[in-house]
Amino acid sequence: MKMRIPFNKPYLTGVEMTYMAEAHKLGQLAGDGHFTEACSRYLATSLEASRVLLTTSATAALDMAALLLDIRAGDEVILPSYTFVSTANAFVLRGAVPVFVDIRDDTFNLDERKIEQALTSRTRAIVPVHYAGVSCEMDSIMGIAERIGVPVVEDAAQAIGSTYKGRPLGSIGDFGCLSFHETKNVMCGEGGALILRDQQNVLRAEIVREKGTDRSRFFRGEVDRYTWVDMGSSFLPGELLAAFLWAQLSDATSIIKRRLSIWDRYRVELTSLEEEGRVRLPRIPEDCQHNGHIFHMLMPSERERDRFIKLMRERGIGCVTHYVPLHSSPMGRRVGRISGDMRVTDSVSNRLVRLPIWLGIEEHQDEVIEAIWDFFGSR
């Protein structure tokens, strides 16, 4: 049935079509034009990065990171099982083995205390995922990575505008990956970005993004003609997507502020449910500033979670679960391995439900909150 209050509804600032028309007027639609450059500059500045390259998706950004790290068959990459498939696919496509590690029971992020036991002589990268825009314990993760000499790829798909100890997420590791999918705070339908912390990776990243050619150098007048010089693929989005994204990025501060307001309202109105032990609400560590991307509740059991979703849907309100853990998926069982137990991952996956959160839901939020309280009983 169609939801009167859907789980997600993409937000428009109102100037997306104006900028897209301007891109057409400028006469370059193939990418790396005026709006691509504007988005890249904005992101590099706000993320304190050497360079940010727009991509067609966060999946593409992860694929680029795997190529830039020269991941090969038999290599191992450490990541949480509680994540989207793209986090693993980028490395599996290069022949690597995803090593699944359990998550913390507060943030549902990669448990940094369990990374050490997952390390082997074949470990080639660590991939923390900032779930719900809440940072992993990056000091510990970076410390482990530096000690053993492996790079860190931050899956910051959900984390634009979030920080760890004041540092923007995605810019702490060697590489960071953002998503601008329509479900994200800032979006262009489909899109992403690769964040490059170190200048030494910029030139090769440009080549990988441009199908393995030095086309970017050609357009800067650095070579007479461009040719095939490395592995790569078509990771560059067109100018129309970049123009759409520029409208969103220009309003990003306001968008995130509004989402945080919606998130805070849920927290205030539902806190007594947590105090009574009937649900568990999100936990935000002191060193982390999140971006209001997801508001979730951890229910007492899978049965109770499913009953809640069913009753909310009957009232026209879209509430949804989240990931099926990768380690329990058919492909995960075939190509990956588990380090330690997955107790927290399995428990969270079975009990977590996400509430609708999007700009414009403010006028419906009373109804959502009232429906939640009706499920649990009167206030």
Report how far residue 158's alpha carbon sits from residue 169's, in angstroms, rounded to the nearest whole number.
Answer: 10
Q: What is the mean pLDDT of the chain?
A: 97
In the chain, % of residues over pLDDT 70: 99
- Each residue's pLDDT tens digit, 207-261: 999 999 999 998 888 999 999 999 999 999 999 999 999 999 999 999 999 999 9
Average of per-residue pLDDT across 23-48: 95
Q: Tell whether the model's pLDDT for residue 20 goes beyond 80.
A: yes
Average of per-residue pLDDT across 321-326: 97
Which residue in this structure is represented by tokens 């996956």? 349
Which residue in this structure is represented by tokens 């109102």? 14
CA count, 13 A, side-chain hemisphere, 367: 14
Q: Tell whether the model's pLDDT for residue 185 goes beyond 80.
A: yes
Average of per-residue pLDDT across 332-341: 97
Q: Tell whether the model's pLDDT for residue 284 goes beyond 90.
A: yes
Average of per-residue pLDDT across 55-79: 98
Under the banding of pLDDT at 50, 70 and 90, the label for residue 378 is low
Under the banding of pLDDT at 50, 70 and 90, the label for residue 167 is very high
Show Cβ contacts of residue 315 under 8 Å, excluding neighbours closer than 6 positions. Answer: 371
Whole-number pLDDT of residue 3? 84
Show Cβ contacts of residue 143 under 8 Å, excluding neighbours closer than 6 positions. Answer: none
* C-alpha radius of gyration, the chain, whole number: 21
Q: Tell whether the model's pLDDT for residue 2 goes beyond 80.
A: no
Q: Tell whether the model's pLDDT for residue 1 goes beyond 70.
A: no
- Each residue's pLDDT tens digit, 295-316: 999 999 999 999 999 999 999 9
Of the ranges 25-29, 117-121, 353-357, which one carries the lowest mean pLDDT score?
Answer: 25-29
Domains of the chain: 16-249 (3.40.640.10), 252-376 (3.90.1150.10)
Whole-number pLDDT of residue 379? 59
Per the structure block, which two tokens stand in for 378? 């009167």
Residues 179, 62 contacting (CB under 8 angstroms): no
- Each residue's pLDDT tens digit, 74-108: 999 999 999 999 999 999 999 999 999 999 999 99
In the chain, % of residues over pLDDT 90: 96
**H/E element holding 178?**
strand 175-179
Among 336, 356, 331, 270, smallest CA distance to 10 is for 356
Whole-number pLDDT of residue 221? 87
